[in-house]
Amino acid sequence: MKSYEKLLESNKEWATGEIEKDPGYFDRLAHLQKPEFLWIGCSDSRVPADRITQTQPGEIFVHRNVANLVVNTDVNLLAVLDFAVTLLKVKHVIVCGHYGCGGIQAAITKQDYKPVLNMWLRHIKDVYRLHQTELDSITDEEQRSDRLVEWNVREQVYNLAKTTIIQRCWKKEQRPDLHGWVYGLKDDLINPVFEMKAGTAIDNLYQYDNL
Ligand SMILES: [Zn+2]
C-alpha cells in the first residue's frame, strides 16, 4: 500500500469508529459550525491545533502558514480572518507559534532560500530588527530563536489589531480578544505570552476613525 493510500484507509477506519461510538456524530457535525476561536498557527506538522487543545471538530476555525504570520497583503489570511470575525463571530483570535520553529530559525540565518521563501521570511527578519539589541545579546542560538518566536507572536497580534476587520468589530461588538501563545514541542505546554483585549488602544498611526 502506498503511503497516501494508508491515509484513505485510516480515514475509513476512523469514520466507521466515530459512527459506532455515536451514530448522530456526522449528522450533527454537518449542520453545525459555530467555533468560538480562530487559530492562526504554524504549518509545522507537529502543532495540530485541535490535538494540543483537546478540542473537537467544529470548535476551532484554523489558518496555518509558515511561522504563523499575519501579513496585511495576504489575501488568504485576510479572507479567513474576515470570515471568522465578521460571519462566524468568533470571540477569540489566537496566534500560536512554537519553540523550535524552523521558519524563525531560517529567518535568522543569512541563507538565500530563493525569492518566494526569502519574501516570506523577510517579515520575520523585520521583527528581529525591532528587538535587535536584546536578541543580539543572547549568545545561545536556540534561546535566541525561541525569544524571537515570542516577539514574533506578539508582533502578529499587533498586526491583527492594525486591520480594519478587527478594529471595526472591536468598535461595534467589543470582540474578539487577541491572544499570542507559544507551544513547546518539548513539553507539549502552551505558554501564553501576550494578550490584547477587545478595544485595547493601539498606536494612533494605525487607528481608523471612520469604520
Ligand atoms: Zn514553525
Q: How far is the CA of 31 from the centre of ligand 1 (A)?
A: 33
Per-residue pLDDT, averaged over 156-179, amounts to: 98
Cell readout for 93 is 483570535
pLDDT at 27 over 90: no
Cell readout for 158 is 499587533
| Whole-model pTM over 0.75 | yes
Q: Which of 63, 96, 98, 154 is catalytic?
A: 98
Model confidence over 116-137: pLDDT tens digits? 999 999 999 999 999 999 999 9
Q: How far is the CA of 62 from the centre of ligand 1 (A)?
A: 15
How many angstroms separate the CA atoms of 71 and 74, rounded? 5
Task: Output phi, psi for 173, to 5 deg.
Answer: -130, 5
How many angstroms separate the CA atoms of 96 and 205, rounded? 26
Model confidence over 51-97: pLDDT tens digits? 999 998 899 999 999 999 999 999 999 999 999 999 999 999 999 99
Say if strands 177-183 and 190-196 run parallel, antiparallel, or are unpaired: antiparallel
pLDDT at 31 over 80: no
Alpha carbon 90 to its chain's center:
14
Per-residue pLDDT, averaged over 21-45, amounts to: 88
Q: Is the peptide bond before 48 cis (omega within 30 degrees of 0)?
A: no
Nearest Cα to 38, choosing from 95, 93, 89? 93
Please say if 101 is a catalytic residue.
yes
Residue 92: predicted pLDDT: 98
Q: Which of 22, 27, 46, 136 is catalytic?
A: 46
Cell readout for 118 is 526569502
Please tell me what DSSP assigns to residue 80: H
Sign for the CA dihedral angle at 177, 71, 149, 147 comes to negative
What is the CB neighbour count within 10 angstroms for residue 47?
A: 20
Model confidence over 141-151: pLDDT tens digits? 999 999 999 99
Residue type, 9: E
